[in-house]
Chains A and B, each alone.
Chain A
């Protein structure tokens, strides 16, 4: 079996994995990192989204072996020193989640979106989250949350 070395949420893992093992099942079943979810089998729903070397990927369409030598960031590594990321805070205060199943992917995609566009319009947020489906919220409060977090992050950056 191929061996991989991967840094996930700041921790190094060295593992032998089946060549066909998907990254998301490596996270969930092998490492017990169950914060990242699976919601479809066609890469449409986006709930499995993580950052791979800073770029959002759907971890159900990445093989664990493809993650060899990369840095992965999941929802479980987003808070720093117990402090929530502004996106986590804003999803909470703006009621950007209900059942919460899409939330890990939604937040990780939003993070990628804000890295590329720190001050997105409503339309840009909606377009940017096209690959993440939510069945509960109707998206309105997700959009509000992302834009609020954008403001907080800009403030944080300039402070």
Chain B
């Protein structure tokens, strides 16, 4: 019926240059911090310098005397301004321990960076200066930063809860006892999936513009989730939802860190309400490192049972996941999202996933690119390589023996998901060819024989992920507090142009371009005649925002279906205009035609104008120029791919370098290959960064040692090579465009590929694991240890500064 089905796509599949770019390359941007409003005041937060302490008093009298200061508030002062604590929307078990989390701490602080008070002044500098004059009387309490120590409950993060164990979540499938007792080979490993700091380059910022007389508020925030933020703020502050408009202006990256409801947003609303003036707060980078959520931080005890020929019988994953001091929006759900992914692409008889959530006196964790799935993929793909080593089998051969074959789709996994489509053979074959797998294996062998100082390792990662979050019913069964649908409105304007309203909220992904390509094909209108509207609850009142690689696979499908509905709706008017029966009218490439009489036609633009004037329409016909759709997917989507890393390890310095990296990803139908490639590139570097450089480190007293970009190594251009990226296309069967989502794939896949490569390079020294990040020091020590050299007294586990090595 539409151009997509009947004719070759004009736009889908083209590398259109992005619509988003002109303002971004010329500096005509609208970041939240750009906003200046008449009478606007600036907020600065006083944050805890202690990991754990009782607050015996907050004295801001000296701050109030500083120049330009208008007001200051402590947690006690604002205690009555909240309808409830900050929200956690994912109580993963009914018994989950859920401590109150107030926007400003009242009686105790529980991590370095916990907000204690806010100072409001006429300039950002005056506010920052005055905050220095606030005196907080702390009674120090013990910090607990190590999860296993925390589980002993000798130091409690929340003393009233009596335990640091937040929850235990379990999923068992198949006969585990049989699999493990009768297996010929069992391999066990403990992996540390270290804490990461997301580091979106735009820090968070919030501006609130009140209309005090009518109780209306517009809150601008550097957020990924304006819609979720609106509902959650309405539920937890005194502002009623219909009075609250949220705007996400240009947002400079998120990676999950802006998928949250933060204390500063609540406080800005409360302060603006109290002072009846606009307020602004912009995060400094050091605040960002302490007070914006962190990612990962799991201890992963893994076990695989297999036959001697490599057939996997069972996998067991037992996790401890660090929640930090409080539960943010989806903190406990993040490791649980991994529950279905520790079997990856492999068939097996039995499976066990257990996750224990643990409170510590550290910054809360939450979603960071991949959110539970990179952790799962890392542990699984590392374990598979260890099994291959144990069996003295090529790691790709082992994977081949166990993965779901392309003819076996759709396939129910041992963890209870149904993978709709995939072709692991095709992606792997293509990747091996591009990589020169056999030649590199030969070179590796040769260099080992020769005892080269620089050894070569080959890292393999054959991942899949569940994305396109998500079927609402599934989210409900996982106790998530919202659905997973997405909403769209497609609207013709009287002049023949098109407006598309989406409930997704892009922050760098190129949705305006990608969605325009879909609509251009659906409606047969020019790509440049389409405007995508988003990120403002007044413009787009209904939506569930952008995360979990959902925007195309859910939001894009809603747009596609709304476009099709609009065409159907307009067809009736077109038939009337063409004096034909509706069944005789067909639509293609922007033109309505009467079947069999090609000269009888009218364009979609002419029909739009006819609908607008409404002078001559069928009796009772509603002259609407728009159609809408709310799409709730029936299943997740399952991108997959094969990533191969050639790692060179200098055995004398321990330095590990990426010599070449090939990935072949299958993300289903590709709307814009350039945008997809960009997503893969960026994802790869974030995943490689976990493998080689990044680690948030706390000392025993709970101080964040890596508290700025000076100390936390975010990779720069010289650190990474150019990648060879390619794809196979196995369309998803769960949506009409066959798309799967691409935002997280690179990050999920690349971490284990790199670490597998490093370990593979030095396995002949007897090394079978390197803790991430694989810094030169850690690699060097691993080689020295296994060579039997005498070590100094610092064991690898106790090393600090891994990210800096």
Contact = CB atoms under 8 A, between A and B. Distances in A.
A42 B706 CA distance: 13
Given A35-B26, A98-B678, A91 B21 contact: yes
Given A28-B34, A34-B34, 19 more contacts: A29-B36, A34-B31, A37-B31, A42-B710, A45-B201, A75-B27, A84-B26, A97-B24, A98-B253, A98-B679, A99-B253, A100-B21, A100-B29, A130-B716, A133-B716, A135-B686, A138-B681, A140-B681, A141-B677
B22 interface: yes
Interface in B662-687: 674-675, 677-679, 681-686
Interface residues of A, number: 60
B509 interface: yes
B682 A100 contact: no
Contacts of B720: 138-140
A78 interface: yes
Nearest to B679: A98
Contacts of A141: 677-678, 681
Interface string A72-101: 001110110000100010011101011111
Nearest to A35: B27
Nearest to B198: A135
Contacts of B252: 37, 99-101
A20 B123 CA distance: 13
A88 B684 CA distance: 25
Contacts of B17: 92-93, 95
Interface string B686-715: 100000000000000000000011100010
A137 B718 CA distance: 14
Interface string B262-294: 000000000000000000001011100000000
Interface residues of B, number: 59
B123 to A, nearest CB: 8
B285 A40 contact: yes
Interface of B: 17-18, 20-29, 31, 33-34, 36, 123-125, 199-203, 250-253, 255, 282, 284-286, 507-510, 674-675, 677-679, 681-686, 708-710, 714, 716-718, 720, 722-723, 746
B201 A133 contact: yes
A155 interface: no
Given A29-B36, A78-B26, A92-B22, A99 B508 contact: yes
Given A98-B508, A139-B685, A44 B203 contact: no
Interface of A: 18, 20-21, 25, 28-29, 32-42, 44-45, 47, 74-76, 78-79, 84, 88, 91-93, 95, 97-104, 107, 122-123, 125-127, 129-143
The dominant DSSP class at the A interface is loop
B716 A129 contact: yes
Contact of A41 (B285, B510, B746): B285
8 contacts: A39-B202, A75-B27, A91-B25, A101-B200, A103-B25, A132-B717, A135-B682, A138-B683
Given A101-B253, A143-B717, A88 B201 contact: no
Given A95-B674, A135-B253, A79 B714 contact: no
Given A98-B508, A125-B717, A138-B682, A35 B28 contact: yes
Nearest to B24: A100
A42 B285 contact: yes
Interface centre among B25, B674, B723 (most CB of A within 10 A): B25
A35 B685 CA distance: 26
A101 B31 contact: yes
Q: Which 4 pairs from chain A and chain B are nearest by CB? A: A35-B27, A101-B252, A99-B508, A100-B24
A29 B36 CA distance: 8
B745 to A, nearest CB: 13
Contacts of B510: 98
Nearest to B285: A40
Given A84-B25, A100-B508, A141-B678, A135 B18 contact: no
B255 A135 contact: yes
Contact of A95 (B201, B678, B717): B678
B20 A100 contact: yes
Contacts of B123: 29
B723 A140 contact: yes
A45 to B, nearest CB: 6
